C-alpha cells in the first residue's frame, strides 16, 4: 500500500487520536482512588468524573457527525483535538472535584468531535481497496491505548501522581494536532458552508433521550432507573419519528430503513459491545477478591485481551478488503462466544491459565469483528454521510458499554443484593459472575445472526473520494 504525503499524515494523526481517547479513559480509571483522596470525594461524586465524560461524548456524537458532513470533517477533527487537549490540560490543573467534572465535560465534547470524524476522514482519503487495512491500523491503535492505559497509567500515578496522567496525554494529542495541520498545509480551506437547516430540535431530543436512557440504565434495578430508561427510550422513538419528517435530519433514518448493511452492522456492534464491555470489570473484581491479586497484577492479566485485539485488528482489516466483512465479523463474534462460554465456568479453583485463555479468545474474536464491521458500515453509505455513519457507530459503542455495565449491576443486585464483597459473600459473587458471562454469551450468540443478516459489502469506487477530501 503506497501512501502519498497527505495520506501518511492523516493516517498518523487519526491513529494517534484513536490511541489517545481510550488510553485516557483506561488510565484515568486507575487514577480515581488518588483523585478521591486528593479532593475527599464521595463514591457518587467520584463516579461523576467518569459519567460526565461518557454522557457528554454520547450526547454530542451524532449531532457533531452531521455537523462534520455539513461544514467539513477536517475542521471538526482539528477543533475536536483542540477542545480535548484543553479539557485534558484543565483536568490536570483541577482544584476541586467539581472543577474536574466540568473539565471532563469539556473533554467529552472534544472526544465526540474526534470519534465522529477520525474514521470518516480515513474513509474519505483512502480508496475502497485499502480501506480495511487503514481501519485495521486505526482499530489497533484503539486497543493499544486500552492495553497501555492500565499499565502506563498505574506507573504514572504511582511515581508522579494522578495529575501526570492528564499531562502525559497532552503529548500524543499535540503530535496529532501537528500532523493533521501538516496534512492540510498546502490544501486551501474549503469554501465556507452554511449551517442553515441544521436540526437543532432533533439534536436536543436525541441528547435528552440518550441522557435519560444512559442514566436510567446506570441506576438499574432501582425503580427510578427503570423509569428514566423508559423515558429515554420513548424520547429516542420520538426522535426517530421526528427525524423522518425533517428535510435535513441530524440522523437520516433511511440509513436504517433502506440500508440493510448499515442497520445490521450497527446492531451487531451494539450487541458485541453490550456483551463484552463489562467482562474486564467483573474479572478485575474476581482476580482481586477471589485470587487475592493486587490491582497492578490484575491489570497485567487483563491486558491479554486488548493486546491480542491490537495484534489481530490490522490483519483482520487487510483481510476485509478481500473477504466479505460480514464473514470475518461473524467469525469473530463466534470466537467471542467461545471465550465467554469458557469464562462462564470459572470458579475459585480455576487456574489463571484458563482465565487468560478465555481472554485470548475474546481478544481474537473482537479483533476479527471490529475492523471488518467498521469497513462494512463505512462502505455501505455515500460519502456525504461518512460523518454521521462514523458517529452512529461510535454511539453504538457508547450505548453498548453502558448497557453492559447496567445489565451487570442488575444481575449482581438480584443475586447478591446490596451487600459488600467480603469472604462470606464470595460464593454469591462467583455465581453473579458466572450468570453474567452466560447471559453475555447468549446475547453475543444472537448477535452472530445480526451480523450474518446483512448483505454483501457495498462497493465504493476510487473516484467517489476526490470530492470528499475536505
All cell numbers assigned to 459 = 462497493
Going by C-alpha positions, the residue among 205, 268, 188, 295 that lies closest to residue 241 is 205
- Which pLDDT does position 186 carry in this prediction? 62
Q: Which residue has the higher pLDDT, 88 or 211?
A: 88
Q: Which of 182, 202, 221 is the last residue of a domain?
A: 182
Residues 282, 154 share a domain: no
Rounded to whole angstroms, the Cα distance separating 389 from 302 reads 31
Instruction: Determine whether 418 is exposed, middle or buried from the number of CB atoms within 10 Å of its CB (0-12, 13-18, 19+).
Output: exposed
Residues 294, 145 share a domain: no
Q: Is the pLDDT of residue 174 over 90?
A: yes
Confidence of residue 359 (pLDDT cuts 50, 70, 90): very high
pLDDT tens digits, residue range 273-325? 999 988 887 888 888 889 888 777 887 888 888 889 888 888 888 888 888 88
Residue 218 covered by a domain: no
DSSP for 136-193 reads HHHHHHHHHHHHHHHHHHHHHHHHH-THHHHHHHHHHHHHHHHHHHHHTTTSPPPPP-
Residue 442 covered by a domain: yes
Q: Which residue has the cell 506507573?
A: 155
3-state secondary structure of 197: coil
Q: Is the pLDDT of residue 190 over 80?
A: no
Confidence of residue 466 (pLDDT cuts 50, 70, 90): very low
Under 8 Å between Cβ of 290 and 426: yes
Under 8 Å between Cβ of 176 and 82: no
Q: What percentage of the chain exceeds 90 in pLDDT? A: 34
pLDDT tens digits, residue range 94-141? 999 999 999 999 999 999 999 888 888 888 888 877 878 888 888 888
Which range, 122-131, 162-171, 460-469, has the best average confidence (pLDDT)? 162-171
Domain residue limits at 34: 1-182
All cell numbers assigned to 458 = 457495498
Residues 264, 140 share a domain: no
Residues 27, 153 share a domain: yes
The mean of the pLDDT values for the chain is 85
Residue 461 covered by a domain: no
- Which pLDDT does position 332 carry in this prediction? 95
Residue 108 covered by a domain: yes
Angle between helices 43-71 and 200-218 (to 10 degrees): 150
- Which pLDDT does position 187 carry in this prediction? 59
Residue 366 covered by a domain: yes
Residue 271 covered by a domain: yes
- Residue 463's CB is within 10 A of a number of other CB atoms, namely 8
- Which pLDDT does position 267 carry in this prediction? 93
Residues 451, 340 share a domain: yes
pLDDT tens digits, residue range 43-79? 667 778 887 888 898 889 888 988 888 888 888 999 9
DSSP 250: S
Residue 234 covered by a domain: no
Q: Which residue has the higher pLDDT, 1 or 431?
A: 431
The whole-number average pLDDT for the span 148-165 is: 85
Confidence of residue 467 (pLDDT cuts 50, 70, 90): very low
Residues 157, 284 share a domain: no
All cell numbers assigned to 246 = 425533517
- Which pLDDT does position 1 carry in this prediction? 63
CATH number at residue 445: 1.20.1250.20
DSSP for 68-83 reads HHHH-HHHHHHHHHHH
Q: Which of 182, 197, 218 is the last residue of a domain?
A: 182
Range with lowest mean pLDDT among 185-189, 211-215, 280-284: 185-189
Instruction: Determine whether 420 is exposed, middle or buried from the number of CB atoms within 10 Å of its CB (0-12, 13-18, 19+).
Output: exposed
- Which pLDDT does position 148 carry in this prediction? 82
Q: Which residue has the higher pLDDT, 270 or 126?
A: 270
Number of domains within the chain: 2
Residues 356, 268 share a domain: yes
Q: What percentage of the chain exceeds 70 in pLDDT? A: 92
The whole-number average pLDDT for the span 256-275 is: 91
Residue 191 covered by a domain: no
Q: Which of 164, 182, 200 is the last residue of a domain?
A: 182
Query: Which residues, including other chains, have CB under 8 Å from residue 15's CB and lie 6 or more apart?
Result: 137, 138, 141
- The alpha carbon of residue 8 and the mean position of all alpha carbons in its chain are separated, in whole angstroms, by 24
Q: Is the pLDDT of residue 2 over 80?
A: no
Which range, 59-73, 205-219, 428-442, has the best average confidence (pLDDT)? 428-442
pLDDT tens digits, residue range 401-410? 878 877 887 8
Amino acid at each position: 500500500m503506497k501512501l502519498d504525503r497527505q495520506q501518511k499524515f492523516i493516517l498518523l494523526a487519526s491513529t494517534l487520536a484513536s490511541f489517545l481517547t481510550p488510553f485516557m479513559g483506561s488510565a484515568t480509571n486507575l487514577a480515581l482512588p488518588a483523585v478521591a483522596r486528593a479532593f475527599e470525594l464521595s463514591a457518587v461524586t467520584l463516579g461523576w468524573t467518569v459519567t460526565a465524560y461518557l454522557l457528554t461524548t454520547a450526547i454530542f456524537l451524532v449531532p457533531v457527525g452531521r455537523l462534520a458532513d455539513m461544514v467539513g470533517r477536517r475542521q471538526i477533527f482539528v477543533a475536536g483535538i483542540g477542545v480535548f487537549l484543553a479539557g485534558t490540560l484543565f483536568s490536570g490543573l483541577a482544584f476541586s472535584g467539581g472543577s474536574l467534572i466540568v473539565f471532563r465535560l469539556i473533554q467529552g465534547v472534544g472526544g465526540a468531535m474526534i470519534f465522529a470524524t477520525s474514521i470518516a476522514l480515513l474513509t474519505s482519503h483512502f480508496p475502497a481497496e485499502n480501506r480495511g487495512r487503514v481501519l485495521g491500523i486505526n482499530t489497533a491503535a484503539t486497543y493499544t491505548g486500552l492495553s497501555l492505559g492500565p499499565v502506563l497509567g498505574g506507573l504514572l500515578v504511582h511515581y508522579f501522581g494522578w495529575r501526570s496522567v492528564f499531562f502525559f496525554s497532552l503529548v500524543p494529542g499535540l503530535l496529532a494536532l501537528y500532523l493533521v495541520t501538516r496534512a492540510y498545509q498546502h490544501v486551501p480551506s474549503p469554501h465556507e458552508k452554511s449551517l442553515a437547516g441544521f436540526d437543532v430540535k432533533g439534536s436536543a431530543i436525541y441528547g435528552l433521550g440518550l441522557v435519560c436512557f444512559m442514566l436510567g440504565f446506570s441506576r438499574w434495578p432501582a425503580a427510578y432507573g427503570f423509569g428514566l430508561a423508559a423515558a429515554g427510550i420513548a424520547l429516542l422513538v420520538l426522535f426517530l419519528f421526528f427525524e423522518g419528517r425533517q428535510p435535513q435530519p441530524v440522523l437520516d433514518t433511511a440509513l436504517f430503513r433502506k440500508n440493510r448493511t448499515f442497520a445490521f452492522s450497527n446492531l451487531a456492534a451494539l450487541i458485541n459491545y453490550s456483551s463484552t464491555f463489562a467482562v474486564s470489570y467483573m474479572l478485575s473484581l474476581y482476580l482481586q477478591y477471589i485470587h487475592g491479586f493486587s490491582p497492578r497484577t490484575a491489570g497485567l492479566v487483563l491486558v491479554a485481551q486488548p493486546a491480542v485485539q491490537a495484534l489481530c485488528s490490522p490483519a483482520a482489516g487487510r483481510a476485509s478488503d478481500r473477504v466479505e466483512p460480514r464473514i470475518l465479523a461473524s467469525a469473530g463474534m463466534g470466537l467471542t462466544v467461545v471465550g465467554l462460554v469458557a469464562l462462564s465456568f470459572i470458579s475459585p479453583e480455576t487456574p489463571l491459565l484458563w482465565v487468560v485463555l478465555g481472554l485470548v479468545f475474546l481478544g481474537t474474536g473482537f479483533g476479527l469483528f471490529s475492523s471488518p464491521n467498521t469497513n462494512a458500515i463505512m462502505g455501505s453509505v455515500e460519502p456525504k454521510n461518512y460523518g454521521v455513519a462514523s458517529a452512529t457507530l461510535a454511539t453504538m459503542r457508547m450505548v453498548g458499554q453502558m448497557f453492559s455495565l447496567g445489565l451487570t449491576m442488575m444481575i449482581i443486585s438480584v443475586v447478591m443484593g446490596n451487600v459488600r464483597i467480603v469472604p462470606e459473600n464470595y460464593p454469591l459473587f462467583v455465581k453473579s459472575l458466572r450468570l453474567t458471562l452466560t447471559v453475555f454469551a447468549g446475547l453475543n450468540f444472537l448477535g452472530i445472526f445480526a451480523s450474518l443478516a446483512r448483505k454483501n459489502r457495498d462497493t465504493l469506487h476510487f473516484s467517489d473520494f476526490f470530492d470528499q477530501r475536505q
